[in-house]
Chain A
Amino acid sequence: MAAVEETIDAVAAVTGSTYKWGFTTDIEMDIAPKGLNEDIIRLISARKEEPEWMLEYRLAAYAGWLKMEEPNWAMLKIAPIDYQDVHYYAAPKKPRPKSLADVDPALLEMYEKLGIPLREREVLAGVVGSDEEEGHRPPVAIDAVLDSVSVATTFRKNLAEVGVIFCPISDAIREHPDLVRQYLGSVVPKQDNYFAALNSAVFTDGSFVFIPKGVRCPMQLSTYFRINTQNTGQFERTLIIAEEGAQVSYLEGCTAPQRDENQLHAAVVELVAMADARIKYSTVQNWYPGDEDGLGGIYNFVTKRGDCRGARSKISWTQMETGSAITWKYPSCILRGDDSVGEFYSVAVTNHKQQADTGTKMIHIGRNTTSTIVSKGISAGQSNNTYRGLVKVRPQAAGARNFTQCDSLLIGNDCGAHTVPYIESRNPTARLEHEATTSKIDEDQLFYCRQRGLSQEDAVGMIVNGFCKDVLKELPMEFAVEATKLLAVSLEGSVG
């Protein structure tokens, strides 16, 4: 029997779900009634004690959304979504704890189960003060978002000392209204697309980051998103602003319980980089992918866009997409500033009946702008994995450069791997290079590894990791090991 066939059999043999984050936690929640209308939007805005302009923004987005249609151009088969059958707001009933003793034990237990180390866990559970004495690990500031609200944000005080604002966006709307008002929707307008409009109407929480001029953020920032309550949607909103010369590295992680019904997640992330600023945005997306028959899983419809507004600014997206039943996501860069740089590094793994249509857009506007795209797609089971990307050079973007490498790996003969690049240039001095390949795991490589004593599964894991190396090495050091393990685990769900 051919080695690859054995691999496929190994895939088929894995029946029970290997999704290790699929448990549910019983936390008393304050949940809005199902359905979407102006009253619900008013309720969300009121719960968050928002200013009037924010409510108006939401209502305008909602009015726009009502007139829009779901996009259907992606290579995705999506069962009709009943937007009235979703809770748009769910938050823990208990107020934010002041000390460890006050933390809801269920919440504590949940973070423990999610494998967050103790020190971090204390911090995550929102214990004020536990962030003062961090051990030898490099400190990571965390914003933990559970369903609709942020339950804790750590290191706020330490960060504030250097002028960095890191807080839930709902706090920012109240505490820094001028900043939020200036930038919110300035990269992703409220009626940008169907899911962005929906998010703009009903977003509940997410992170706000502001790095002032010349400041290099002293620690890694991270947001941990968790969907917990049944039938809720999660609509997070993230806004990161790096002023001139500022630098920040930000990472988001996401998980959700294992449930039989699909849950909706429609996020919007906006990044603004002024002159000489650098934003590195990394994602480890591990929403519940559904079971091997395609039952359940998160619908992940995300609009992420970075605006390189100033000269020599740089925005780098790195994503590791292993979860979700459906992923619709195109983190993009608008290279407006001269000499600005956009990067997109992506690993997308689909297994069983997962579907992913993901990629990027690089819009070259400024002179001598540079973009790099490295995409690695891995399809297994009966999944479909599509890279979709746009590189556009506007007439004024003299000297623009793009390099794109898209590779797809197929494991088994029931899956699909697709590549849909759009390459558009209107400037003769621009140079664009695009390469794409699709193949299966090489039999010779498998045999070579096994001859050295590696099991079939380890051999596949090692080869796939090698295939993804150019992307994995872009993840922040603190998470690279975790990501490599996650890749192995996702493949465990796919290759044994």
Chain B
Amino acid sequence: MLEIKNLAAEIDGKQILKGIDLVVPDGEIHAIMGPNGSGKSTLGYVLAGRDGYTVTAGTATFDGVDILAMEPEQRAAAGLFLAFQYPVELPGVNNANFLRTAMNAQRRTRGEPELNGVEFLKLARAETKRLSMPDDTLKRNVNVGFSGGEKKRNEVLQMELLRPRIAVLDETDSGLDIDALKIVADGVNALRSPGFSAVVITHYQRLLDHLVPDRVHVLSDGRIIRSGGPELALTLEAEGYAAIVAEAA
């Protein structure tokens, strides 16, 4: 269970998160929506431990363990996955090598046996096929020369293989066509289980058509100003953020 209490964070002296309270119980999917600049991506980065963000108040624990004190790779091994809004290109590093190294690093940390090349390839090929990705995906360098949609799907591929316990998907739906959107949603749905939870950051209802959230939260100016069930997303789609933001102010 992810528990965030009064989390505040700044970058370059600018306060972005101003006291976030959020509880994501195991097995649930929570959507976070909100206007541009409200702090959605920052929340993902702070949870994953990106440099440059200073936590000024509050806590974030995962199953009672303080994740804010951990290195990024420790958080990953603990089961936290961030699907990047802008996936990073790694020239010269091929996808297969990258994924296998990452999987085995996490397994090592958790005291699990490492995968050999054959075992890994079997798993990876099955997943690429399921995500309708081309055969050469694993041979290509990580995100280099990928289209926007391919990059997002590659993020989902990594998530499927790394099997996180909690995933933060930062606008993974943006830049996807309808078919790809469905594939991504199916990917997340496939992981749905009592041992998996997700925080889905999105601007659009359409992802939530395929990936029905347990809860929807509206983030504005660094705070969650409204929470509700799936119907809240529909309201937002129909009325926009302005009314809710005004109401909260």
B162 interface neighbour in A448, A453, A463, A466, Cβ under 8 Å: A453
User: B71: shortest Cβ distance to chain A, in Å?
Assistant: 7
- Residues of B within 8 Å of A443, CB to CB, are 51
* Size category of the binding interface on chain A: 20 to 34
**Smallest CB-CB separation from B52: which chain A residue?**
A2
Whether A448 lies near B87 (C-beta < 8 A) is: yes
Assess the B105–A455 pair: CB atoms within 8 A. yes
Chain A contacts for B93, CB-based, 8 A: 462-463, 465-466, 469
Q: Are A467 and B91 in contact (CB under 8 A)?
A: yes
Contact of A450 among B52, B72, B92, B97 (CB under 8 A): B72
Name which residue of chain A comes closest to B110, CB basis.
Answer: A453
Total A-B residue contacts, Cβ distance less than 8 Å: 83
Q: Is A326 an interface residue when CB atoms closer than 8 A count as contact?
A: no
Question: Nearest CB to that of B76 among chain A residues?
Answer: A453
Say whether B88 contacts A444, CB under 8 Å: yes
User: CA separation between A458 and B109, bound complex, in Å?
Assistant: 13
Task: Provide a sorted-by-A list of 9 A–B residue pairs whose CB atoms are within 8 angstroms.
Answer: A451-B76, A452-B99, A453-B76, A455-B105, A463-B90, A466-B90, A466-B92, A467-B92, A469-B92
B111 CB, nearest partner CB in chain A, Å = 14
Q: Give every chain A residue within 8 A of B73 (Cβ-Cβ).
A: 450-451, 453-456, 459
Known: A452-B158, A470-B92. A447 touches B101 (CB 8 A): no
Query: In the assembled complex, which residues on chain B have CB atoms less than 8 Å from the CB atom of A469?
Result: 91-93
Which residues of the other chain, A, contact B75 by a CB distance below 8 angstroms? 451
Given contacts A462-B101, A463-B93, contact A452 B88 (CB under 8 A): no
Chain A residue contacts of B106, Cβ below 8 A: 453
Indicate if A12 sits at the interface (CB-CB under 8 A): no
A445: contacting residue among B50, B52, B88, CB under 8 A? B88
How would residues 427 to 461 of chain A score, 1 for a CB under 8 Å from any chain B CB and 0 otherwise? 00000000000000011110111111111101100
Q: Does B102 contact A (CB under 8 A)?
A: yes
The 0/1 profile, CB within 8 Å of A marked 1, for residues 35-56 of chain B is: 0000000000000111110000
Check if A486 is an interface residue, CB within 8 A of chain B.
Answer: no
> Using Cβ atoms and an 8 Å threshold, which residues of chain A touch B141?
466
B199 within 8 A of A: no
Q: How far is the CA of A3 from the CA of B51 in the complex (A)?
A: 7
Q: Closest residue of chain B to A459, judged by CB?
A: B73
Specify which chain B residues have a CB less than 8 angstroms from the CB of A450 in the assembled complex: 49, 71-73, 76
